[in-house]
Structure 1
């Protein structure tokens, strides 16, 4: 999984039929890379999100024949990193 921030939307009126009904977001990953991720949980611009990449992304759609390799799987509420309290 990767952490990213939604920075925009992608609109595609012509696409493979089994992608109909899916929303596409532009997500900027922590390393600065920008990707297009499929979203079926309702993330929006400005949200920090968890993204899964690769063939496992299809499992989050419950349809094995969806041609995606990135999927928003969570909207992040808070990130807490451990400190060096010694």
Structure 2
């Protein structure tokens, strides 16, 4: 899993049926020390109700992602599976709400 920041939304009027009723988000890896995004932005299926600006847990592995959605043959690789409230790293506590 990765910690990412939601940086945008994606809308698709035509998509696989398994994606119906799910929000598509753009997420970028997030550095909890600097508070900045870094790396490549990717699209993820949201299963927790996250929104732009949220710091989230992202599963970027196809089998696990499809398992979370109970869609074993869907073309899904990346899923937002949690919203991060806070972190603790090297004694530094950081809240995200």
- Into which bin does the TM-score normalised by the smaller protein fall? 0.7 to 0.9
SS class of match (2:50): coil
Show the counterpart of 1:52.
59
Show the counterpart of 1:29.
29
Listed one character per residue, the Cα deviations across residues 38-75 of structure 1 (whole Å, up to 9, x for unaligned) are 00210001000000012211111122233210000100
Q: Which 4+ residue blocks in structure 1 deviate beyond 2 angstroms?
A: none
| RMSD of aligned Cα (Å) | 1.2
Show the counterpart of 2:35.
none
Deviation at 1:17, TM superposition (A): 2.1
Distance 1:19 1:49 in 2: 19
Show the counterpart of 2:95.
none
Show the counterpart of 1:4.
4
Q: Which residue, out of 40, 43, 63, partners 2:71? A: 63
Unmatched runs of 5 consecutive residues or more in structure 1: none
So what's the TM-score if we normalise by structure 1?
A: 0.87
Show the counterpart of 1:76.
84
Distance 2:7 2:16 in 1: 24
